[in-house]
Amino acid sequence: MSEITLSELEKQYGDTTAVEDVSVDIRDGELLCLLGPSGSGKSTTLRMIAGLEEPTSGEITINGEDVTDQSAYERNTSTVFQDWALFPHKSVLENVAFGLKMRDVPKEQRRERAEAMLERVQMGGYGDEDPTNLSGGQKQRVALARSLAVNPDVLLLDEPLSNLDKRLREDMQIELREIHEDVEETFVHVTHDQDEAFTLADRIGIMNEGELIQVGEPTEVYENPANRFIEGFLGDTNFVESEAVRVTDDAVHVETELGYELVLPSDGDPDVTEGAELTLSLRPEVLSIEQDAAADSMEGHEQPVLADGSTLNAVVGTVENVLYRGSTVRYSVSVNGTSMFAERTGANTDALTAGEEVRIEWEGDDVLAFRPDGSQVTL
Amino acid sequence: MTETPTRVPTSIAAVRERIAGQSSSNRALLLMAPLLAFELLVFVIPFFILLRISFAESSANFVYAEGTVSLEAYASVLTNELLWSIVGYSFLIGVVVTVLSVLIGLFYAYAIWRSTGLVKSLLLFSVVLPLLTTLVIRTYAFRPLLSPTGTLNEILLSLGLLSEPISFYPGTIAVVIGQLYIVLPYAVLAIYSVLATMDWHVVEAARDLGASRPRSILEVVVPQVMPGIIVATVISFAWSVGAYAAPGVLSSSLTFAIQVEDMMYGMRYPEAGAFSVLMLLLMLASIAIIFTVLNRFGGEFDLA
């Protein structure tokens, strides 16, 4: 149980900056996921917490104690590595007991503790095995037991699930979540997989190009991303380029590359000037796609449909191709020459086919807008 | 569409088929045949000739008396105390050089493993570089370096670390240094070849779990590179015990190899042969002990 503070953490390798100005308070007992594409500095950040990398500048404290200058073996942190890094010449039990041996725990005690940990990760009875003979999932469990055995202040997980196949990975995510609840310790988990972060995390920290862009609960970062990068990274979306043509107190009217003028409702006094370039994000889950019964009556450049004062937006296009993905079906639609996509659940048997005219609709409230510098516009 | 399989009855295909028809152990034997023939020719047959001569009587007219069978040479060798002191001295050189070469080799190999880029290339190149010069010339080069008026003494004197020169050469220190210089590259390469396949994360994991630097090396690195250490130990030990050039050039001490040469100059081939056979047995016993002891510390070699 412990709190970790990173303040203005920075890591440079020669001229390249791997981690830049990362500051975050990791709460006691939470599971924080550092999420980002490869090369975003998330692993380096984790390794600095472990003491395996020395920060170029900045400070790390654990429970208020400055550990920045302590080496890895002096810190009571424990890492589960991506390739698990089990000791190949030691038995499974010796692996799990290793940290206790380094802490001079008497032999009988560490044996008991190691066996209990193996039991905890459902690897009881494997103590005498040679770790090189285990499967990926089993190695993963042993590595977890080895790290938990020392009762660390914080458990650091460096993409430990990425070498497992999809099904096993999903099972392990649930199990990891349970273990976290069970042991009540602080976990920092690094991953590049959004689904994994959403499944596991109490809070998600999103990193890109060495910077920690946003830290928040999963719903918060998903529904209110700090910038366009996060919106694009956290799931599929349609980015539509547009220009603000008319700004009123309660709405922003934009001319889009779709060839339609759309309306973005505002809570009042939108932070946009006329003529500003905006990138709109239309997530597939807010779009509904229907066979367009009224296709004949729709003209390409019509104003958005405003039914009884609400701000329903609609565009009309042609289905280009259909991608069946099991639980969902994805339709790629050409709207006045610009491609966008919408989804239906796979259960919807009323399938659309390529070449069909369709109408895509959404609530104006569900659209996010970003400035050219990536920041989100408050509407 | 024709469904007849085409067969090309060339001679290579025929040979291939014949080889494929062999059982796997036969095939392995076939592949090893050139090596086995070579070993037979340069090692096994000469050894039996040596063994035969060691059981011959000495002769006043020839290097040994042909057609005789006797234990005379063995009796003479076994009762000669001088020879036993030579054996002891040879083993002493062997043990000291081996310990030094394995220790330094381990550190050096670790340094190569952990370095990157140009430094790594330079370190590797420096290991191989000495092998480009003849062993004898390399060994002679230690004379001016180690003599009482040599470079090393001058440096130590000018630094004030010595008040009067030490005679490294000629003597045992020079022999150890010279022999170490000969075997070290092989020790480094033997250890490095195993180390290079090791995963650095395993060392990080050990440190992460609370092992200090020295402890992580002892607990994790050494057991894993034990196969390399065993090879380095055997090469260093066997070569140093039987060393010829370094003791010959850098000291006036008698070692096993030089003594055998003396016996041969003295036309005492049976004695030289008996001495060599006994030495060979001692070496085999020593290597068996090395294997057994080092295997306990995590080596993966089974003693055949």
Task: Identify the weakest region by mean pLDDT among A1-10, A45-54, B59-68.
Answer: B59-68
List chain B residues with CB under 8 Å of A87. Answer: 202, 205-206, 219-220
Q: Predicted confidence band at B166 (pLDDT cuts at 50, 70, 90)?
A: confident
The H-or-E segment that residue A33 falls in is strand A31-35
B239, HSE (Cβ side, Cα atoms, 13 Å): 24
Residue A228's contacts (CB-CB under 8 Å, 6 or more residues apart) are: A239, A279, A281, A370, A374, A375, A376
Q: Predicted confidence band at A154 (pLDDT cuts at 50, 70, 90)?
A: very high
Q: Predicted confidence band at A365 (pLDDT cuts at 50, 70, 90)?
A: confident
B303 pLDDT more than 70: no
Is B210 in Cβ contact with A99 (below 8 Å)?
A: yes
- CATH, domain A4-227, list 3.40.50.300, 3.40.190.10, 3.40.50.10210, 3.30.160.20: 3.40.50.300
B294 pLDDT more than 90: no
3-state secondary structure of A307: coil
List chain B residues with CB under 8 Å of A150. Answer: 209-210
**Average pLDDT over chain B, rounded to whole?**
88
CA atoms of A270 and B143, how far apart (whole Å): 89
pLDDT digits (tens, 9 = 90+) for A91-121: 999 999 999 999 999 999 999 999 999 998 8
Q: Report the pLDDT value the prediction gives residue A28, as an integer from 0 to 100.
A: 92
Per-residue pLDDT, averaged over A237-244, amounts to: 92
CA atoms of B191 and B230, how far apart (whole Å): 9
CA atoms of A66 and A6, how far apart (whole Å): 10
Task: Identify the weakest region by mean pLDDT among B1-10, B44-53, B96-105, B230-239.
Answer: B1-10
What is the CB neighbour count within 10 angstroms for residue A183? 16
Orientation of helix B81-114 relative to helix B172-195, angle to 10°: 40
A293 pLDDT more than 80: no
CA distances to A96, A126, A282 from B205, rounded to whole Å, are 12, 21, 44
- One-letter amino acid of A268: G
pLDDT over 90 percentage in chain B: 59
How many Å separate Cα A175 from the centre of its chain? 19
* Bond prior to A372 in cis (omega within 30° of 0): no
Q: Report the pLDDT value the prediction gives residue B211, as an integer from 0 to 100.
A: 92
List chain B residues with CB under 8 Å of A78. Answer: 208-209
CA atoms of A82 and B202, how far apart (whole Å): 11
Is B224 in Cβ contact with A102 (below 8 Å)?
A: no
SS3 of B73-130: HHHHHHCCHHHHHHHHHHHHHHHHHHHHHHHHHHHHHHHHHHCCHHHHHHHHHHHHHH
CA distances to A144, A167, A324, B268, B289 from A327, rounded to whole Å, are 33, 16, 8, 92, 66
What's the gap in Å between the CA of B122 and the closest CA on chain A? 21
Q: Predicted confidence band at A274 (pLDDT cuts at 50, 70, 90)?
A: confident
A46 pLDDT more than 60: yes
Closest residue on chain B to A151 (Cα): B209
3-state secondary structure of A343: strand
Is B202 in Cβ contact with A52 (below 8 Å)?
A: no
Q: Predicted confidence band at A305 (pLDDT cuts at 50, 70, 90)?
A: very low
- Indicate the fold that domain B84-296 takes in CATH: MetI-like fold (1.10.3720)
pLDDT digits (tens, 9 = 90+) for B146-158: 888 888 888 988 8
3-state secondary structure of B187: helix
Q: What is the DSSP string of B247-277?
A: HHHH-S---HHHHHHHHHHTT-HHHHHHHHH
The H-or-E segment that residue B279 falls in is helix B269-296
B291, HSE (Cβ side, Cα atoms, 13 Å): 12
Per-residue pLDDT, averaged over A309-327, amounts to: 80
CA atoms of B275 and A31, how far apart (whole Å): 73
Q: Where are the alpha helices (DSSP H) in chain A?
A: 42-50, 92-102, 107-120, 136-149, 166-183, 194-200, 218-223, 228-233
Q: Report the pLDDT value the prediction gives residue A299, as an integer from 0 to 100.
A: 47
Task: Identify the weakest region by mean pLDDT among A10-24, A236-250, A341-355, B242-256.
Answer: A341-355
Residue B272's contacts (CB-CB under 8 Å, 6 or more residues apart) are: B260, B263, B264
Per-residue pLDDT, averaged over A85-91, amounts to: 92
CATH architecture of A238-370: Beta Barrel (2.40)
Is A72 in Cβ contact with B199 (below 8 Å)?
A: no
Torsion of CA A152, A156, A162, A163, to 10 degrees: -50
Is B210 in Cβ contact with A73 (below 8 Å)?
A: yes
pLDDT over 70 percentage in chain A: 94
Q: Report the pLDDT value the prediction gives residue A351, as an integer from 0 to 100.
A: 74
Q: Report the pLDDT value the prediction gives residue A1, as an integer from 0 to 100.
A: 54
pLDDT digits (tens, 9 = 90+) for B168-188: 888 899 999 999 999 999 999
A74 pLDDT more than 80: yes
Is A52 in Cβ contact with B208 (below 8 Å)?
A: yes
Q: Predicted confidence band at A314 (pLDDT cuts at 50, 70, 90)?
A: confident
Q: Predicted confidence band at B302 (pLDDT cuts at 50, 70, 90)?
A: very low
- Return the closest-CA partner of residue A31 out of A302, A277, A245, A217: A217
Closest residue on chain A to B198 (Cα): A88
Q: Report the pLDDT value the prediction gives residue B186, as an integer from 0 to 100.
A: 96
Q: Where are the alpha helices (DSSP H) in B115-221?
A: 117-128, 135-140, 142-146, 151-158, 172-195, 200-208, 213-216
Is A146 in Cβ contact with B208 (below 8 Å)?
A: no
Q: Predicted confidence band at A292 (pLDDT cuts at 50, 70, 90)?
A: confident
A35 pLDDT more than 70: yes
CA atoms of B50 and B279, how far apart (whole Å): 13
> Tokens representing B203?
């060392």
Q: Report the pLDDT value the prediction gives residue B7, as an integer from 0 to 100.
A: 53
Q: Report the pLDDT value the prediction gives residue B10, as an integer from 0 to 100.
A: 62
B147, HSE (Cβ side, Cα atoms, 13 Å): 8
pLDDT digits (tens, 9 = 90+) for B104-113: 999 999 999 9
List chain B residues with CB under 8 Å of A83. Answer: 199, 201
Size of interface A-B (CB pairs under 8 A): 64
Write the ipTM. Answer: 0.81
CA distances to A208, B64, B80, B176, B273 from B161, rounded to whole Å, are 57, 55, 43, 22, 47
Closest residue on chain B to A72 (Cα): B208
Is B208 in Cβ contact with A77 (below 8 Å)?
A: yes
Q: What are phi and psi of A355, to 5 degrees?
A: 95, -15
pLDDT digits (tens, 9 = 90+) for B205-230: 999 999 999 999 988 999 899 999 99
Q: Report the pLDDT value the prediction gives residue A361, as an integer from 0 to 100.
A: 85
B25 pLDDT more than 50: yes
Residue A33's contacts (CB-CB under 8 Å, 6 or more residues apart) are: A188, A189, A190, A191, A196, A197, A200, A201, A203, A204, A205
CA atoms of B264 and A132, how far apart (whole Å): 54
Q: What is the DSSP string of A214-243?
A: EEE-HHHHHHS-SBHHHHHHTS--EEEEEE
CA atoms of A270 and A247, how far apart (whole Å): 8
* Chain B residues in contact with chain A using a Cβ-Cβ cutoff of 8 Å: 199, 201-202, 204-213, 215-216, 219-220, 223-224, 298, 300
Q: Report the pLDDT value the prediction gives residue A363, as an integer from 0 to 100.
A: 83
CA atoms of A242 and A252, how far apart (whole Å): 11
Sequence ranges of the domains in chain A: 4-227, 238-370
Closest residue on chain A to B209 (Cα): A99
**Average pLDDT over chain A, rounded to whole?**
88
> Tokens representing B273?
């042969």
